[in-house]
Structure 1
Amino acid sequence: MMRIDIHKLLKLLAFNEQDPLLFNSAFFLIFFGFFLTAYLLFQKNRNTRIYFLTLFSLYFFYKTCGWYVGFILLAAVVDFNISKIIYETTSKHARKVLITLSILLNVGLLFYFKYTNFFIDIINDVSQQQLHPLKLLLPVGISFYTFENVSYTVDVYRREIKPVDRFIDYLFFLSFFPKLMMGPIVRAADFLPQIEKKPFVTDEQLGQGLYLITAGIIKKVVISDYINANYVMYIFDNPSAHTGLECLLAVYAYAMVIYCDFSGYSDMARGMAKWIGFEINLNFLSPYQSSSITEFWRRWHISLSSWLRDYIYIPLGGNRSGYFNTYRNLFITMLIGGFWHGASWNFIFWGALHGAALALHKLQKDYERKPLLVIPYSPKVTKFINKILVDLPVFTVPYSPALTKMLKVMATFHFVCLGWIFFRCNSFADSWTFINQIFSHFNIAVLPQLVANYANVIMMLWLGFLLHSITSPTELEYQKFLTKLSTPLKIVYLFAAIYLAIQFKQADVIKPIYLQF
């Protein structure tokens, strides 16, 4: 009898490909509870605390992706040592060789797992070869910790930070479990100084953590998973079988699914970090309230957009080399950002779409400051064309700034939704089929039936947009309210959110969308 129990326990603690350990699983909540209890025993001693957190993070990663945990260990060893050599080397040439080597090793490993089969397909299409795709599985989180590795070594190379002295500190930074799988992408300069601080969790952090964890659970499990399983997957898997109205609702639904899925997971990551005494950066700030595509990328996946700005856009030249080069750099940066998301023409087109939009918005802002287009001997035509370039894209309504902003927000949101079609569809052809259904087979007559059949989905969709519309001051006030609750009431509040999530949890495990990246 004892052997059976031990066998079951070992099986439960081992990696299960069919049931990976995710924040939205019931087992993880129990797992995290045991972790917090043990952490209280080790937190006072600096070294014990770091070793315990690192080992727990690596075990958590093992439970999520199996022996691929070895890649994060390899990445940590390589970049820890290269960065130290870079910092100690005075030769400019040697430093450039070393930083190039570091980037090639990091990006090369990512490229091998993520893009090899994509380029094999391209070679087969172009040359009529019959190369067989490799049987590769993408290691979980590799895109995120690769970017963290690159930013660390580049920052050391730029002399913006000093490399850490101890390997365990760097491994802890890289493997810190709340942000390991799906971000946010954390900068070493923001995280490493926190290691030296004495672990002291304030009442504010407890309240903020409680708010973020419970909000994340509701976003991910209650809203995103429900809408995804009961409507979005059904429509996107076969768009040609549905009317344009059904497809349009699916676009709006997916916009909320991906927001609640990713921001919910980010919220949980930030909340758990706060409960351990660490701060990781905000990753979403009500992005669908943006009135321009530029503002959208300041609010959506903030850690990625800032990384792309600092390590791709600015090194390309940023806005320092004239108008055309600025627009080109914006386009290239977003093209790379699209390709980062996945080896697919859909992601490349999605990145190009956003890159073109950012470039056009920058062009429009440049025209506002100084009209660039001049038609010789025709000031009226010049004025007319410049007015179109300045005014039309922003939907300016005379004497009504509120209505003007609302139109801008709606235009930006619908452009983002257009991009989500390519982001979500299974193929490039399906994306155009989806768009064709909306514009060519829009049957308003099915509206009553659609509302009747998917009333719960529509209700969840409205709930998602309602939560999204909550302002930052309101969130802060609610966090203060939670902070003031007694410990028993905090526990009741947490378990109420978990109970609610259990009631809405889908039969099949719905993995986080960004887990694939």
Structure 2
Amino acid sequence: MIDVNKLLDILLYHKDDPLLLNSAFFLYYFATFLLCYLAVSRSKEGRVAVFTIFSLYFFYKACGMFVGLVILSAIVDFNLSRWIYQSEDDRKRKGLLILSIVLNLGLLFYFKYTDFFIGIVNQVSNGDIPLLKLMLPIGISFYTFENLSYTVDVYRKEFKPVDSFMDYLFFLSFFPKLMMGPIVRAHDFIPQIDKPYELNSEDIGKGMYLIMAGLFKKMVISDFIYQNFVQYIFDDPSKHTGLECLLGVYGYALIIYCDFSGYSDIAIGIARWTGFKIPPNFDSPYQSSNITEFWRRWHISLSSWLRDYLYIPLGGNRKGKFRQYINLGLTMLIGGFWHGANWNFIFWGAMHGGALAVDKVRLDWLKKRGGGATGWLGNVLKVGGIIVTFHFVCFCWVFFKASTFQDAWSLLHQVAFDFQPEVWLELYNGYTAVFWVMLLGFILHFLPKRTEVFTEQSLSKVPVVANVAIMVIFFWILIQVKSSETMMPIYLQF
């Protein structure tokens, strides 16, 4: 007999057990969603209604009553964008745009940065203003940026606002990308809503590959390395040798990539199965031979958003070289601040901004000389560029991950002055499985693109029944090898 009270308790929001794409409850949620979605798949209104209801419930299960912020944001920007589009008065249009920016950023700043600025005021004035200790609504940074890009595109007359509020609420609350992105542009997503739902073998194969790859990266590689090695290093770097700290940094570089890109892959794969194509968010970023290339491959939806809605409006490269370098630095500084109200994030963004400016000088110099080296020398320089870029990114990850500047400098001090390479055998014997998983992760990351394409094409040629069998076997294996404790996604905090 079904225990109704227990069932209701499972369906309600619990702060310590939010609904995530990698949680056990999600399998039941997604199976129920698919059945309902397929039942109304021939009706556009039915698809929108089912998807929106399940998306809002997903958000409720993830962060409780903060689901109301998504609905409120949709109401505000749906109406403001329509008023902007309908108005012929430039001053009124600009005023409405400013209102949209103030409301969206005001909401984000209130929840994300209030305590940060209270802390600064207290330090400067020796005050004792109490911190509000506000809970950060999950996904607010992502749907705020989606709202802003939509309103700005309408203001620029690059996109006609939707006529249906449900269509806009559907776009904003779309559950695969709601909590951790990718940041989806309205002009990429909304036109797909009116298209009939059609699923071909390519969609099945690509979606299946992305979901399995994402779950493997997140639940096997990222969670295992963090729980069994990296968390101990960053908890107190001073207790570990420089070799341990260096390997811990390498491990974290793999963790944050597998964690975030894995979640993005799952989201894009689910979207593909439901008839929506979302652009990729990562493209093997550690294969980059310079920092400019890295930011074309890492968190693509954020870096392109910052380029289109911050860097270019600041002047981009249109106001001279020196101003261009300043714009690059400011864009990355703000990008660092977007990640959180913490001086470490600001420093992380500043370092990347400075590196991008320096790399721009290098690229301009090479362009004047007719380009870089070719042949064997070009290949050697490319490999060297990959190594240098990877280690610069890892150096920056230290400040991104460390709780304080003191912890970050403590770790770097250990690497520089207390390396102790002689402990490598003892370290290997203590963390054998971790290091092999790390090696597997880096090997998979550096596989050529054609390997991924081949796998997707192979899965698309397999009959549906066989695909189901593959998924069942994959989930069985995943349950056997995954970490016993469910790890919260890293980017959930942003």
Alignment TM-score > 0.5, same fold: yes
Indicate the residue corresponding to 1:330 in structure 2.
Answer: 328
CA distance in 2, matches of 1:224, 1:501: 13
Indicate the residue corresponding to 1:177 in structure 2.
Answer: 175
The sequence identity of aligned pairs, in percent, is 56
CA distance in 2, matches of 1:460, 1:369: 41
Q: CA deviation at 1:399?
A: 5.0
Could you say what secondary structure the match of 2:310 adopts?
Answer: helix
| Contact 1:327 1:359 (C-alpha < 8 Å) held by counterparts | yes
Matched, 1:409 2:409: no
Indicate the residue corresponding to 2:421 in structure 1.
Answer: 444
Matched AA of 1:276 = T
Q: Mark the CA change 1:188 to 1:398 in structure 2 (over 3 Å): closer, same or farther.
A: closer
Matched, 1:160 2:137: no
CA distance in 1, matches of 2:376, 2:52: 58
Matched, 1:428 2:405: yes
Q: CA deviation at 1:148?
A: 0.1
Alignment of 1:271-420 (within 5 A): 271-370=269-368, 399-420=376-397
CA distance in 2, matches of 1:440, 1:503: 41
Could you say what secondary structure the match of 1:291 adopts?
Answer: coil
Question: CA offsets, 1:74-126, max 9 Å, x none?
Answer: 10000000000000111111111110110010001000000000111111111
Matched AA of 2:300 = I
CA distance in 2, matches of 1:399, 1:201: 45
Could you say what secondary structure the match of 2:198 adopts?
Answer: coil
Indicate the residue corresponding to 1:96 in structure 2.
Answer: 94
Question: CA offsets, 1:37-89, max 9 Å, x none?
Answer: 22110111111110111001000110111110000001000000000000011
Indicate the residue corresponding to 2:442 in structure 1.
Answer: 465
Alignment of 1:141-220 (within 5 A): 141-220=139-218
Matched, 1:488 2:465: yes
Q: CA deviation at 1:18?
A: 1.2
Q: CA deviation at 1:16?
A: 1.1
Which of 423, 430, 433 aligns to 1:453? It is: 430
CA distance in 2, matches of 1:295, 1:320: 21
CA distance in 1, matches of 2:375, 2:59: 55
Indicate the residue corresponding to 2:490 in structure 1.
Answer: 513
Q: Mark the CA change 1:397 to 1:486 in structure 2 (over 3 Å): closer, same or farther.
A: closer
CA distance in 2, matches of 1:54, 1:13: 17
Q: TM-score, normalised by structure 2?
A: 0.98
Alignment of 1:3-18 (within 5 A): 5-18=3-16
Which of 108, 112, 115 aligns to 2:113? It is: 115
Which of 248, 254, 263 aligns to 2:246? It is: 248
Q: CA deviation at 1:507?
A: 2.9
| Contact 2:220 2:483 (C-alpha < 8 Å) held by counterparts | no
| Contact 1:222 1:500 (C-alpha < 8 Å) held by counterparts | no
CA distance in 1, matches of 2:447, 2:42: 38
CA distance in 2, matches of 1:291, 1:212: 25
Which of 454, 471, 486 aligns to 1:477? It is: 454
Matched, 1:79 2:52: no
Question: CA offsets, 1:150-175, max 9 Å, x none?
Answer: 00000000000000001000000000
Structure 1 range deviating more: 331-340 or 361-370: 361-370
Indicate the residue corresponding to 1:500 in structure 2.
Answer: 477
Q: CA deviation at 1:364?
A: 1.5
Q: CA deviation at 1:496?
A: 2.1
Matched AA of 2:402 = C
Structure 1 range deviating more: 362-371 or 216-225: 362-371
Q: CA deviation at 1:29?
A: 1.5
Q: CA deviation at 1:505?
A: 2.7
| Contact 2:85 2:155 (C-alpha < 8 Å) held by counterparts | yes
| Contact 1:218 1:497 (C-alpha < 8 Å) held by counterparts | no
Q: Is the radius of gyration larger for structure 1 or structure 2?
A: 1
CA distance in 1, matches of 2:416, 2:336: 26
Could you say what secondary structure the match of 2:243 adopts?
Answer: helix
Indicate the residue corresponding to 1:378 in structure 2.
Answer: none
Alignment of 1:35-50 (within 5 A): 35-50=33-48
Q: CA deviation at 1:444?
A: 0.5
Task: Structure 2: state its 5+ residue gaps.
Answer: none
CA distance in 2, matches of 1:304, 1:399: 35
CA distance in 2, matches of 1:399, 1:105: 55
Could you say what secondary structure the match of 1:138 adopts?
Answer: coil
Matched AA of 2:342 = S
Structure 1 range deviating more: 499-508 or 332-341: 499-508
| Contact 1:397 1:403 (C-alpha < 8 Å) held by counterparts | no
Runs (4+) off by over 4 Å: 396-399
| Contact 2:108 2:140 (C-alpha < 8 Å) held by counterparts | yes
CA distance in 2, matches of 1:153, 1:430: 41
Matched AA of 2:80 = I
Matched AA of 2:269 = G
Q: CA deviation at 1:404?
A: 1.1
Q: CA deviation at 1:455?
A: 0.7
Q: CA deviation at 1:485?
A: 1.1
| Contact 2:36 2:50 (C-alpha < 8 Å) held by counterparts | no
CA distance in 2, matches of 1:507, 1:311: 42
Q: TM-score, normalised by structure 1?
A: 0.94
CA distance in 2, matches of 1:71, 1:448: 53
Q: CA deviation at 1:504?
A: 2.6
| Contact 1:282 1:302 (C-alpha < 8 Å) held by counterparts | yes
CA distance in 2, matches of 1:508, 1:130: 39
| Contact 1:217 1:497 (C-alpha < 8 Å) held by counterparts | no
Could you say what secondary structure the match of 1:434 adopts?
Answer: helix
CA distance in 1, matches of 2:376, 2:171: 52
The total of aligned residue pairs comes to: 494
Indicate the residue corresponding to 1:128 in structure 2.
Answer: 126
CA distance in 1, matches of 2:385, 2:43: 53
| Contact 1:209 1:270 (C-alpha < 8 Å) held by counterparts | yes
| Contact 1:226 1:504 (C-alpha < 8 Å) held by counterparts | no
Which of 257, 264, 271 aligns to 1:266? It is: 264
CA distance in 2, matches of 1:508, 1:129: 41
